Amino acid sequence: APLKVAVIVGSLRAGSINEQLARALAKLAAPAMAFELVSIADLPLYNPDIDDGRHPAPEHFRAAVKAADAVLFVTPEYNRSIPGPLKNALDWGSRPYGEACWAGKPAASIGASPGAAGTAAAQQQMRQVMTVLNMAVLGQPEVYLQFKEGLVNEQHDITVQGTEAFLTGFLSRFAGWVRQQQLR
Ligand code: FNR
């Protein structure tokens, strides 16, 4: 069976380059991995007072993550850090204490930016948070992508051959990492 991967895009923006990248990766990953985009757009701002099991969006979000074999974050960088909506989603998934949907999940975080640093600062912080959440974080390869107009076309294909080869390599290493974690 294909590995089921919950893909979480750290941008809420229509036309997000990170969402474009996520959709292109979904196409490249099939059929070995089935990517499912799990939206963070409807999560309210985290507040323990409303974390009482009665809000459908967080419960749906946690269930979608729990049902996956692995998690892939595809996120922009905001002010050299993790975008607030994504940190909010990480916090929602971290509770109830001891029952976090993230725990034990094989995971990786990548991202794209128009800037040359390609989200490296945000990814570094993602690794820190993912580790605290007890996810099994893929160390290599790192993907910090400088996104240039047209890199992903309307059919969600990567138009630059070298980049497509690099991303295909990343996906196969990620799939191998997930399977290895499942055997532990
Ligand atoms: C940015 N951007 C940005 N880019 C970057 O490489 N490093 C950064 O620290 C920031 N900071 C930042 C803050 C805020 C509030 C915004 C809105 C943007 C630019 C960012 O990379 C660009 O807008 C991307 O297009 C965002 O990704 P999505 O939304 O297209 O996926």
Show pLDDT as tens, one digit a residue, over the chain (184 residues): 999 999 999 999 999 999 999 999 999 999 999 999 999 999 999 999 999 999 999 999 999 999 999 999 999 999 999 999 999 999 999 999 999 999 999 999 999 999 999 999 999 999 999 999 999 999 999 999 999 999 999 999 999 999 999 999 999 999 999 999 999 8
Residue 141 and residue 108 in contact, taking contact as beta carbons nearer than 8 Å: no
Neighbours of 16 (CB within 10 A): 18
Residues 6+ apart with CB under 8 A from 131: 137
The distance in angstroms from the start CA to the end CA of the chain is 19
Quote the number of domains for the chain. 1
Residue 80 beta carbon below 6 angstroms from any ligand 1 atom:
yes
Q: Which residue among 79, 126, 147 has the greatest number of ligand 1 atoms within 8 angstroms of its CB, and so is best to mutate?
A: 79
- Residue 146 CA to residue 143 CA, distance in Å, equals 10
What domain range includes position 178? Answer: 3-183
Residue 56: exposure state from Cβ atoms within 10 A (0-12, 13-18, ≥19)? exposed
- Expressed in angstroms and rounded, the spacing between residue 163 Cα and the centre of ligand 1 is 21
Residue 113 CB less than 6 A away from ligand 1: yes
Residue 38's domain is classified under what CATH number?
A: 3.40.50.360
